[in-house]
Structure formats: C-alpha cells, structure tokens
C-alpha cells in the first residue's frame, strides 16, 4: 500500500473520488481574506487538489501558481479551471520543483500541511523560507487536533513552537467562523509572516 508521501497514495484517491477534504468550493475565510487584501502579488498554492482557490486568487488580482504531485488532481483542477487558468496548475513535488528563490509574496495553505507526514514538517518550513520573499506571508487554514495516525496529521502548539520560530512570526491565529465539517472546531486560520 502506498504512503502519503507517495503521489500514488493521493492519485488513487482522486481517481476513485474518495476526497472527503474537498470542499467543492472556496472556504468562506479565504473569501474574507481576499476582500481585505487587495494588494495582489505572487501566490503559490501547494497541494492544490481540484484547484478552486486558483480562480478566486486570480479574480482578486493575484499572480497565482498552483502545484500538486498527483496527476489525477492536476487533471481535475485543469478541467475545473478551463484552458486559461488551467495552465497555472503544475504537476510537481513541492519540495523539489525548481521555483526560483523568494518567488512568492504569499503561500496559501489548506489541507497541505496536515496531509504531509510529520517527518516532513521541518522540510516544509525550510521550503517556505526559501520560496517566500522577506515579509512574505504563509496564510490559510491549519488543522489542529488530537494525536492520530493520518492523514490528516494535526498541528499542535508544540509543533508550532518547534518548526516556525524564529523564521516566522505568527501574526494572526483565530477560530474559523464557518469551519469545514470534516475538521470542525479543529480548523484555524493562521497568518505567518516571514521574518527578514
């Protein structure tokens, strides 16, 4: 059986339509963020899945790039987005894709951090340091929960203290008013600013 660090693990789920994490649209908290932040900039969406967020970032004036390493997810995202925006969805591994250093002003997080095995968390944060410009923002929905085998793998305060400081300052941490039913009260909106 494949492992969550293997693209086949996710490809099998997208092919079978076993995707309970798929909201079928854009989280209301992201829509609020985009209403409040009309500055634009370059944004990366790692583990983009079916790609709903690509369109709303684009409509809000952002230069958006999305990435997933499951071919079935990329195919579905491109089909959802159509020929123009679909070209913004890349097939590749977040940890190895050859993005230029400090390419992005924002990285949007939703069900990516909780989908990777905890052994990759230090590499995730290091990759964010590489990809975000100084004062760039890692923003989105993080899953907080009880100890369990994943995915999803929960984030707890010990993980936050271990992996994010001193390179990131947590500038906003709030409960989600309209959480996704799969995660319920364990879903939090966080904004981490990369320290210069």
Domains by residue range for the chain, with CATH: 7-16+26-194 (3.40.50.150)
Tell me the C-alpha to C-alpha distance, in Å, between residue 152 and each of 22, 55, 122, 142, 183: 13, 25, 17, 11, 9
pTM for the model stands at 0.95
| pLDDT band at 196; cut points 50, 70, 90 | confident
- Residue 3: per-residue pLDDT: 86
pLDDT tens digit sequence for 92-113: 999 999 999 999 999 999 989 9
Tell me the C-alpha to C-alpha distance, in Å, between residue 52 and each of 21, 26, 76, 81, 160: 13, 6, 10, 8, 27
- Residue 170: per-residue pLDDT: 96
- Residue 1: per-residue pLDDT: 56
Residue 60 CA neighbour count, 13 Å, CB half: 21
| pLDDT band at 148; cut points 50, 70, 90 | low
| pLDDT band at 129; cut points 50, 70, 90 | very high
Per-residue pLDDT for 158 more than 60? Answer: yes
- Residue 75: per-residue pLDDT: 97
Mean pLDDT of the chain: 92
pLDDT tens digit sequence for 163-195: 999 999 999 999 998 877 878 888 899 999 999
- Residue 82: per-residue pLDDT: 97
Q: What is the mean pLDDT of residues 31-59?
A: 94
Q: Which residues of 165-183 are buried (b: 16+ CB within 10 A; e: fewer)?
A: eeebeeeeeeebeebbeeb
- Residue 31: per-residue pLDDT: 94
Q: What is the mean pLDDT of residues 4-22?
A: 89
């Amino acid at each position: 059986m494949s492992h969550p660090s293997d693209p086949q693990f996710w490809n099998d789920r997208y092919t079978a339509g076993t995707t309970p994490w798929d909201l079928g649209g854009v989280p209301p908290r992201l829509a609020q963020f985009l209403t409040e932040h009309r500055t634009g900039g370059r944004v990366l969406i790692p583990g983009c899945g079916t790609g709903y967020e690509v369109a709303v970032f684009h409509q809000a004036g952002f230069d958006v790039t999305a990435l997933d390493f499951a071919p079935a997810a990329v195919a579905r995202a491109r089909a959802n987005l159509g020929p123009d925006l679909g070209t913004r969805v890349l097939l590749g591994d977040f940890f190895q894709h050859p993005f230029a250093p400090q390419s992005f002003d924002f990285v949007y997080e939703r069900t990516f951090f909780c989908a990777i095995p905890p052994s990759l968390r230090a590499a995730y944060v290091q990759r964010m340091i590489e990809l975000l410009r100084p004062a760039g923002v890692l923003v989105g929905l993080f899953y907080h929960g009880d100890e369990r085998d994943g995915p999803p793998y929960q984030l707890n305060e010990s993980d936050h203290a271990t992996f994010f400081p001193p390179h990131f300052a947590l500038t906003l941490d709030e409960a989600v008013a309209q959480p996704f039913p799969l995660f319920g009260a364990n879903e939090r909106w966080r904004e981490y600013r990369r320290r210069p």
